[in-house]
């Protein structure tokens, strides 16, 4: 079965550079979530999209932005990178609340490991 | 503001033992609760999802229960195996939004 695809899997950047992470949800899934997981920490919710519209926002810095495109893939854009942005970034997708009996079960991608030097 | 707590933070058991992992949450207005497994440096694997109207879900040796009124969920693992060693996370999806709050996880080590 198709899973959530994230690219790149690993990314190394310098401070103050920009990075773009991509997420391709499971086919037919209409909801995408982004999470940040620092070393030894639990995943922190950043932002979510439902049917290409932002649906909720968590602890996402103003330096970060994201969008969901017409094909439902999503991109997380990170600017002015800081050392503290080094983390695993997960994307998850689900079939939204409107369908599938409202299960909204989230399936996670393998993550992108971002290292900021 | 929803807060999710998992107890214990770490657990070491001999192979074959049955064990219970606990998750509590402060806001009972949840849509569902999901248990995940995470191996070191890897992604999250969904184990069980319980909708707010359900009391429990079972998959193989795993059984998850939900008591929404008391803000508690448990993950029961029967006949533990060394391959079960991982971090187990519970996550709560609240009503009225698309935000998921995770607990800090329970790090499980099953000794052969």
Interface A-B, measured as beta-carbon pairs within 8 A, has a size of: 62
Interface mutation vs chain A, best among B54, B87, B100, B101, most A CBs within 10 Å: B100
- Residue B13's alpha-carbon distances to A32, B68, B69, in angstroms, are 37, 28, 30
pLDDT tens profile A6-40:
999 999 999 999 999 999 999 988 899 999 999 88
Residue B36, CA atoms < 13 Å, CB-side half-sphere: 25
- State whether the Cα torsion A100-A106-A112-A114 is positive or negative: positive
Mean of pLDDT values over A47-75: 92
* Interchain CB contact of B92 with A (< 8 Å): no
pLDDT exceeds 60 at position B79: yes
> What is the DSSP-derived secondary structure letter of residue A95?
-
pLDDT tens profile B17-38:
999 999 999 998 888 999 999 9
Residue A102, CA atoms < 13 Å, CB-side half-sphere: 12
Structure tokens at A113: 């490991």
* Interchain CB contact of B25 with A (< 8 Å): no
What's the confidence (pLDDT) of residue B1? 85
pLDDT exceeds 70 at position A101: no
What's the confidence (pLDDT) of residue B81? 97
């Amino acid at each position: 079965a198709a899973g959530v695809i994230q690219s790149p899997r690993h990314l190394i950047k310098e401070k103050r550079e920009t990075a773009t992470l991509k997420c391709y949800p499971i086919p037919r899934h209409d909801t995408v979530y982004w999470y940040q997981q620092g070393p030894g920490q639990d995943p922190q919710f950043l932002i979510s999209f439902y049917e290409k519209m932002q649906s909720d926002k968590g602890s996402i810095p103003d330096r970060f932005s994201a969008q969901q495109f017409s094909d439902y893939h999503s991109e997380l854009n990170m600017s002015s990178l800081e050392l503290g942005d080094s983390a695993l970034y997960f994307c998850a997708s689900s079939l939204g609340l409107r369908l599938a009996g409202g299960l909204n079960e989230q399936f996670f991608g393998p993550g992108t490991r971002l290292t900021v030097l | 503001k929803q807060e999710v707590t998992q107890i214990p933070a770490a657990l070491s058991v001999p192979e074959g033992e049955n064990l219970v992992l606990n998750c509590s949450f402060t806001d009972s207005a949840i849509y569902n609760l999901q248990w995940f497994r995470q191996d070191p440096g890897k992604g999250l694997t969904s184990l069980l999802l319980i909708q707010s109207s359900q009391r429990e879900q079972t998959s193989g040796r795993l059984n998850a229960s939900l008591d929404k009124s008391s803000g508690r969920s448990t993950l029961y693992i029967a006949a533990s195996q060394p391959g079960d060693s991982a971090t187990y996370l519970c996550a709560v999806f609240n009503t009225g939004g698309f935000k998921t709050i995770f607990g800090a996880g329970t790090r499980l080590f099953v000794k052969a």
